[in-house]
Amino acid sequence: MNKRIHLSLFIAVLLVLALNSLAFGQVLHIAIPQDPDSFDPVQTIAAATAEVAFNIYEGLVKATPEGGVEGALATHWEVNEDNTIYTFYLREALFHDGTPVTADDVISALNRARDPESAVRFGELSMIKDIRPTGGGVQIELHEANGAFIYTLAEVYAVIFPAHAGDLSRNPIGTGPYYLQEWKPNQQIELGRFEQHWSGKRPFFEEVKFLIIPDENSMVLNLKAGRVDLIPRLEMSVLHQVQNDPAIEVVSSPMNLVQVFAINNARSPFDNLLVRKALALSVNRPEILVGAAWGQGALLNSALSPSMVGFYNDSLDDVNPYDPARARELLKEAGQEDLRLTLTLPANYPLHMQAGELVAEQWKAIGIDVELRVVEWGTWLERVYTQRDYDVSVIGLAGRLDPHAILVRYTTGNSRNFFNFSNARYDQLIAQGLKSVGEERRALYLEAQEILAQELPGVFIMDPPQLAAMSKGLQGWKSYPTYVVDVASLYR
């Protein structure tokens, strides 16, 4: 009898261990609409890259779901009295290739991120004067106090990678809870669990597969069939297909994204404010919200989302009211009664495609000849964003933790200013905002948003909600005010 009891207990223990091992060995399947452009953090410009790279790379600090920052590779940091010297104390951590993180790695990575010869967004870290090692960490000296600096370090271009790393574009080496196992372009990205993560915490899923599924209907079909566990950003047009499905849960949260019809301010006749104003006054925003987003989301007349509480300018609703008659008058005044334009649409984003088709009809209604040009995402990035070869285009600009990181893109000469917008007063306000705090800083950014609404680098439309659709039983979803998917927090 005793032997049988002991044998039964032994078998029960083995069963528990086996089930536990099985539970922590599952594969998570996530559907996303497009590939990253590059996993080299200083070369990427696509939000889609940051969405996946959040799990691979880490910086000195990282974003929190609440919109703040917390220590990542830095356990803590100290700031001197005039807020120009930050001392970061490094924790013991390993890169995915097994080498330890050192101060030299931090210095090398951040110096590369601010090198105009290497980095696409080198200007984002131009506030740094010097980076040097110090006891237990690194010391970063700024040219002057910068209110957005600590939030800037949570961006993808400020992550840390080994000084000895080679081509990161296809072979990223970070310290995150997952590492890249395999990347099959236009098919899937496979991540493996990093067992030596500094946190000591073991993510639930052993493998994560980001499946590239450009069509939103195909995403939903795969979710319903169990081939996909999570769609982080469900298109509103297919919400009705899943919202009453008992096997699927949909979580809605603010996306902190600004949909904008970008106008090439450097190309004639769009360099004429009268023309840009005519384009803005002939856009019926409520119609677009209903037609493209099923009435979900918040209408905008600002470059900031309402989720940027304390900085969003909510007094701009009447700046560009829908007034097609006045729009016709402005085109006549500008000598552009026969205006023709090409509207470039990114094929991988149904929300922007649908919004673009609606706006094209609204512009045609006032006599504008609109040619629609649909391009793949890689072409959009190269032609519109990099070469700035376009008339008008529509895109969603991902939110950031600090308003400066959003508003600085409209400053003269900024590498992200694909609008080619330039306004001296605006540049002055953004520069002052970095040196200011509290109510003074808020007032500067409110005025800056008013300039954008009046001068129109583009026509701001909406901040759609983020709809995360997942199979019932998937737990731990965290919504961030930035464009990321936190895989390590998920479990079943």
Q: What is the DSSP string of 137-174?
A: EEEEEESS--TTHHHHTTSGGG-B--TT---TTTS---
Largest CA distance in the chain: 100
The helix (H) or strand (E) run that includes residue 379 is helix 377-380
- This prediction has a pTM of 0.80
Q: What gap in Å lies between CA 32 and CA 28, rounded to an integer? A: 13
Is 44 in contact with 38 (CB distance < 8 Å)? yes
Give the CATH number, domain containing residue 111: 3.90.76.10
Between vectors from CA 249 to CA 355 and to CA 204, what angle results, nearest 5°? Answer: 115
338: Cβ–Cβ under 8 A, 6 or more apart, which residues?
367, 369
Q: Which of 109, 129, 158 is the last residue of a domain?
A: 158
pLDDT single digits (tens) 172-216: 999 999 999 999 999 999 999 999 999 999 999 999 999 999 999
Give the CATH number, domain containing residue 213: 3.40.190.10
pLDDT single digits (tens) 35-53: 999 999 999 988 889 999 9
Q: With 0-12 CB in 10 A as exposed, 13-18 as middle and 19+ as buried, what is 210?
A: buried
Tell whether 326 and 384 lie within a shared domain. Answer: yes
* Beta-bridge partners for 318: none
148 within some domain: yes
Q: Count H helices and E strands in the chain, helices first.
A: 13, 19
Tell whether 424 and 474 lie within a shared domain. Answer: no
Tell whether 133 and 99 lie within a shared domain. Answer: yes
Tell whether 233 and 330 lie within a shared domain. Answer: no
170 within some domain: no
Tell whether 230 and 100 lie within a shared domain. Answer: no
15 within some domain: no
Q: What is the CA radius of gyration of the chain?
A: 24
Tell whether 323 and 418 lie within a shared domain. Answer: yes
220 within some domain: yes
For residue 253 the two structure tokens come to: 């949260």
Sequence-ordered alpha helix ranges (H) in 208-336: 216-225, 273-281, 285-293, 324-333
pLDDT single digits (tens) 54-101: 999 999 999 999 888 999 999 999 999 999 999 999 999 999 999 999
51 within some domain: no
Q: What gap in Å lies between CA 380 and CA 265, rounded to an integer? A: 18
313 within some domain: yes
Tell me the pLDDT band of 13, cut-offs 50, 70 and 90.
very low
Q: Which of 123, 158, 193 is the last residue of a domain?
A: 158
Tell me the pLDDT band of 342, cut-offs 50, 70 and 90.
very high
Give the CATH number, domain containing residue 291: 3.10.105.10
Tell whether 299 and 415 lie within a shared domain. Answer: yes
Residue-by-residue DSSP string for 249-281: EEEEEE--EEEEEEE-TTSTTTTSHHHHHHHHH
Tell whether 326 and 450 lie within a shared domain. Answer: yes
Tell whether 85 and 221 lie within a shared domain. Answer: no
Tell whether 418 and 473 lie within a shared domain. Answer: no
Between vectors from CA 97 to CA 94 and to CA 99, what angle results, nearest 5°? Answer: 45
For 352, phi then psi, to 5°, come to -75, -35
Query: Averaged over 391-415, what is the pLDDT?
Result: 93
SS3 463: strand
12 within some domain: no
What type of residue is 234? Answer: L
Buried b (16+ CB within 10 A) or exposed e, 42-69: bbbbbbbbbbbbbbbbbbbbbbeeebeb
Distances (CA, A) of 132 to 43, 58, 125, 136, 384: 24, 20, 15, 12, 38
Query: Averaged over 279-298, what is the pLDDT?
Result: 94
Tell whether 237 and 265 lie within a shared domain. Answer: no
Residue % of the chain over a pLDDT of 90: 83
Best CA proximity match to 41, nearest among 33, 52, 32: 52
pLDDT single digits (tens) 106-134: 999 999 999 999 999 898 999 999 999 99
The pLDDT score that the predictor gives to residue 8 is: 52
The helix (H) or strand (E) run that includes residue 111 is helix 103-113
Best CA proximity match to 106, nearest among 177, 174, 196: 174
Residue-by-residue DSSP string for 413-439: T-TT-TT----HHHHHHHHHHHH--HH
Q: Which of 158, 189, 223 is the last residue of a domain?
A: 158
Residue % of the chain over a pLDDT of 70: 95
Residue numbers of the domain that contains 129 = 58-158
The pLDDT score that the predictor gives to residue 281 is: 98
- Tokens 């023309």 sit on residue: 275
Q: How many domains does the chain have?
A: 3
Is 187 in contact with 212 (CB distance < 8 Å)? yes
* Beta-bridge partners for 68: none
359 within some domain: yes
Tell whether 311 and 434 lie within a shared domain. Answer: yes
